[in-house]
Amino acid sequence: MVVFILLLSIQTAIYSQKQVSGIIRNAITKEVLIGSNIYDPVRMDGTSSDNNGYFNFIFSVDCKSIKITYIGYQSQSINLEGKYDTILLVLLKPGAEIAEVEISANKRHQFNQSRLSNVQLKNISSIGAEPDVLKSLQLLPGVQSLNEGSSNLSIRGGGPGENLYLIDNVPLYYVNHLGGFISVFNPDVINDVRVIKGGFPAKYGGRLSSVVDITMREGDASGFKGSAGIGVVGAHLNIEGPIANDISYLFSVRKTFTELLLGSVSFLSEGNDNIVTYGFYDLNGKISWRPDTKRSIHASLYAGDDLWAFTILDDGDIIKFRNRWGNIMGSIVWKQILNPKFQFNNTMSFSQYRVRDLRAFYLDPYKGEYNEYHSNSLSSVKDFTIKSDWRYRIIKSWSIDFGIQSSYLVFLPNLYWDSRDNPKDERQNINSLESAVYLENQISLGSYFDLNLGGRGVHYITENFSKSSIEPRVDLSLTPIVNQTLNTTYMKTNQFSQLVLSSGSFLTNEVWIPARVNIEPASVEQYSLGWKGAFFKNMINAEISIYKKHMNNLVAFKEGYSNLMGDVQWEKKIETGGVGNSKGIEFFLSKDKGDWTGFLSYTYSNTFRQFDNINKGNSYVFDYDRPHSFSIDIQRKVNENWSANVLWVYQTGLPYTPAIGRYYAPYNSVDGIIYENEVLIYGDRNSERMRAYHRMDIGLKYFTESKKGRDVTWSFSIYNLYNRQNPYFYYYNTKPGLNFGAIEKRSGFQKLYQFSYFPILPTFSYTVEF
């Protein structure tokens, strides 16, 4: 009977409703506007545009018009007469403040995820007075940094390799520069950033903890424009414009000049025989072809590298160390709206990450048996992916998303050769194929009930190992009171390639390893319960979420190891079969309108790991566990020329393993066996904590014009305003300093010392648009 009533109501709804679809763009640049509001002002019902700027709105026959709004743009009313079952191109003109628009429609909330627009990113202070995508995300509840200044993310107790980073729907495997201090994502080319912390839609898979979905801007189709800037870290250049009436391009590059600075300082320093250089670059490009409203084709490119070099000049000998690591990514995306109910995105992409360690020794021939020696270590992963995503809107209350994806992956965990005893062998590649199909149903009953019910089927095969699995996804929301929503989610997913990370190192030693015989794929089950509310005409938004997750088959370094590079027997260093548990509660409060805006974020969480052969098989606190994490950000628009930002962050100190005793190890010298080298005895893993972490940042932006009438932005920031000496790591020694290599007789117990990176750090940047 219930099924009959439901089918009858659906059939009745089909005949009593009509629909309008369209794409919303900037009227000047033709850039799609993600998250625009489309609503019926009479029935107080609405929807929003997706990542393609597309919307599909089904309305009752008595609805005469709809209203479309977007932050910072003039609102527009669309007369629906004669526009039923059509696809519209809606062009919004920039220039209106959101405070001038009053939206009273019922607001549908999205749980376990947050969005940041290009404008929001540029208003948050960061190191170098330049916005940073990942550091901005770290201010959100449930999202934490690994350590001081790092852009790596630990989301709801997950490791940094458990986050799926997508640029225009293409995975990126390495996301940081400068040892993690700066992310590879250039904010100048970003349209929208969305982070999903749990309850993934069925279209996403392959990672345990989160999805960071980044959409690049399209080039300005109205005419040539650009910007150039310089700051403490480096310089950047962005240009964009039309190639033809329906084709536009976007190109951006940023480059450090620290190589010249560091090299000059080290070379000119008196008595210094070492030359050190370091730098990085990022290059983004995108070409967009829009032959009509329904179709578009996009070609995207990203390339970025870090390069560190260290040269030692010693009495005729020359020793060179050269490390290079980074990504290259390319894709072609075809988007089409077949009709108001049916659309698809087809993507073909390639992504590669590699890290290379080169060493060369040129020795004075009078001092040894040889005068030249080279060694090389290489680790990489290549990802060739094709995917097809489809959406079909049956009725207003029911739409279906489905698709298929296949990724051919080539792993090279480690390849090593040198010019003496280890000749270069054939690459020991590990090839795998990961394929998936998914289906999800999005069902709504009025404004009170929303259900996303779906699943993902995955098949993985490599060498003599294969596995198939079903990954269910459930997301249920209830809205008993207007703008007050309750939500619960459940998800299960698998990860078939895992990251092994050497933490605490400036040089990147990130190695990706595939699931295979003796290395089972990791898996997670996560539950969440949440509430969201909007108050004072959506001026204030609040959110509370509770989550619990259980992870299986995690990997870690065996005790005594911290690096896979340079050793072909890398599997012997890996501990498998790990179990992880994390739970927490998150709170978020934000004010999004007016001259004063900002947010308050708080997370309480606990995360543990357990491996049979680590910490005597006992459970221990996860390396990046921070029970308390709090941030508050306040932004103020002073006038047309000035804006200000104040940020304060507090986090519980990271765990560390304390020394609980010592002994003197025997040393075989010419005088016989002596005992003068002190060796520490360590206690339970991660059983103590460092000092709490906190800091305050302030930022100012000054907007003006150059003598030629071009828009100019001066950005000033002070990182760590009150000069807090936050611990980066703890170490034991007989005296302060990292001089561990010296052999000396030690008369007392080694003491615990703190190493800190960042004191108070004032920076600025200058950007001019043309």
pLDDT in tens, 296-355: 999 999 999 988 888 877 666 788 888 889 999 999 999 998 888 889 999 999 999 998
Residue 406: inside a domain: yes
Residue carrying structure tokens 């625009």: 36
Q: How far separated are the first and last CA of the chain, in Å rounded?
A: 66
Residue carrying structure tokens 């940041």: 116
Residue 679: inside a domain: no
**Does one domain contain both 24 and 142?**
no
Q: Is the pLDDT of residue 136 over 90?
A: no
pLDDT tens-digit map of 445-504: 877 889 999 999 999 999 889 999 999 999 999 998 888 999 999 999 999 999 988 765
Residue 673: inside a domain: no
Q: Is the pLDDT of residue 231 over 50?
A: yes
As a whole number, mean pLDDT of residues 69-81 equals 81
The DSSP output letter for 658 is P
**Does one domain contain both 232 and 367?**
yes
Residue 668: inside a domain: no
Q: Is the pLDDT of residue 30 over 70?
A: yes
The helices-and-strands tally (H runs, E runs) of the chain is 4, 47
Cα separations (Å) of 617 from 337, 550, 572, 659?
A: 55, 18, 18, 19
Strand pairing report for 163-167 and 210-216: parallel
Which of 100, 131, 166 corresponds to the end of one domain? Answer: 100
**Does one domain contain both 276 and 133?**
no
Q: What is the residue range of 9's domain? A: 2-100
Strand pairing report for 17-26 and 87-92: parallel
User: What is the Cα–Cα distance from 232 to 740, expressed in whole angstroms?
Assistant: 33
Q: Name which of 55-59, 252-256, 760-764 the model is least confident about.
A: 55-59
Rg (CA), the chain: 28
Domain CATH code at residue 35: 2.60.40.1120
Neighbour tally for 99: CB within 10 Å: 11
As a whole number, mean pLDDT of residues 678-692 equals 90
Q: Name which of 25-39, 348-362, 510-524, 652-666 the model is least confident about.
A: 25-39
pLDDT tens-digit map of 570-612: 888 899 999 999 999 999 999 887 888 889 999 999 999 999 9
As a whole number, mean pLDDT of residues 515-523 equals 93
Which of 60, 76, 100 corresponds to the end of one domain? Answer: 100
User: What is the Cα–Cα distance from 14 to 603, expressed in whole angstroms?
Assistant: 44
User: Which residues 6+ apart lie within 8 Å of 262 measured at CB?
Assistant: 276, 277, 278
**Does one domain contain both 149 and 171?**
yes
User: Which residues 6+ apart lie within 8 Å of 747 measured at CB?
Assistant: none
**Does one domain contain both 212 and 230?**
no
**Does one domain contain both 257 and 397?**
yes
Question: Which pLDDT score, from 0 to 100, does residue 5 have?
Answer: 44
Asked whether the beta carbons of 53 and 32 are under 8 A apart, the reply is: yes
Strand pairing report for 398-418 and 430-445: antiparallel
Q: How far is CA 17 from the centre of its chain?
A: 40
Strand pairing report for 153-155 and 143-145: antiparallel
Residue type, 579: V
Above pLDDT 70, what percent of the chain? 85
**Does one domain contain both 445 and 561?**
yes
Q: pLDDT averaged over the chain?
A: 84
Query: At 268, which helix (H) or strand (E)?
Result: helix 258-268
Q: Is the pLDDT of residue 268 over 70?
A: no
User: Which residues 6+ apart lie within 8 Å of 270 measured at CB?
Assistant: none
Assign residue 599 a region (left: φ > 0; alpha: ψ between -120 and 50; beta: otherwise): beta
Residue 712: inside a domain: yes
As a whole number, mean pLDDT of residues 729-748 equals 65
Question: Which pLDDT score, from 0 to 100, does residue 504 have?
Answer: 52
Above pLDDT 90, what percent of the chain? 41
**Does one domain contain both 84 and 153?**
no
- Number of domains comprising the chain: 3
Assign residue 673 a region (left: φ > 0; alpha: ψ between -120 and 50; beta: otherwise): beta
User: What is the Cα–Cα distance from 691 to 693, expressed in whole angstroms?
Assistant: 6
Q: Is the pLDDT of residue 28 over 70?
A: yes
Question: Which pLDDT score, from 0 to 100, does residue 100 have?
Answer: 38
Which of 162, 184, 216 corresponds to the end of one domain? Answer: 216
Residue 348: inside a domain: yes
Nearest to residue 302, comparing CAs of 280, 332, 282? 282
What is the pLDDT confidence band of residue 415, given thresholds at 50, 70 and 90?
confident
User: What is the Cα–Cα distance from 565 to 239, expressed in whole angstroms?
Assistant: 39
**Phi and psi torsions of 715, nearest 5°:** -115, 130
Q: Name which of 22-36, 288-302, 570-584, 684-698 the model is least confident about.
A: 22-36
Residue 676: inside a domain: no
**Does one domain contain both 236 and 187?**
no
As a whole number, mean pLDDT of residues 636-640 equals 88
As a whole number, mean pLDDT of residues 200-211 equals 94
What is the pLDDT confidence band of residue 84, given thresholds at 50, 70 and 90?
low
**Does one domain contain both 88 and 184?**
no
Q: What is the pTM of this model?
A: 0.86
Residue 532: inside a domain: yes
**Does one domain contain both 140 and 41?**
no
Q: Is the pLDDT of residue 629 over 90?
A: yes
Q: Is the pLDDT of residue 246 over 50?
A: yes
Question: Which pLDDT score, from 0 to 100, does residue 272 have?
Answer: 62
**Does one domain contain both 410 and 343?**
yes
Q: Is the pLDDT of residue 1 over 50?
A: no
What is the pLDDT confidence band of residue 418, given thresholds at 50, 70 and 90?
confident
